[in-house]
Amino acid sequence: MKFFVEIDGETHRLGDCNWVLKNGAGCAVGSLWAGADVASAELAHREFTPLKRDRDRQTRNGYTLELVGREQWKARIMPCIQGSCSHRTAA
């Protein structure tokens, strides 16, 4: 079964998308494929951070989750993962 999502007005197959965990500065610190098993931000956060107390701490510290398509991932997330984003150079 295929699931579809809408991101910024565009339809994407969920399996072609990634969940991204961003720190309080907006820098991506983790990425995982979305899919039927990880179809919500809550489930993605559990995958990234198994312990509830750690998830709660991340949330208090401004961590967020975002679902992105392939092109968004390449343009905005890949630089963070590679350590070449503006978030890191500003720190």
Q: What is the per-residue pLDDT for 89?
A: 56
Q: What is the per-residue pLDDT for 59?
A: 97
For each of the chain's 91 residues, which pLDDT tens digit applies? 688 999 999 999 999 999 999 999 999 999 999 988 898 999 999 999 999 999 999 999 999 999 999 999 999 999 999 988 887 655 5
Phi and psi, residue 35, nearest 5°: 170, -175
Q: Report the alpha-carbon distance of residue 52 to residue 15 in Å, rounded.
A: 26
**Amino acid making up residue 37:** D
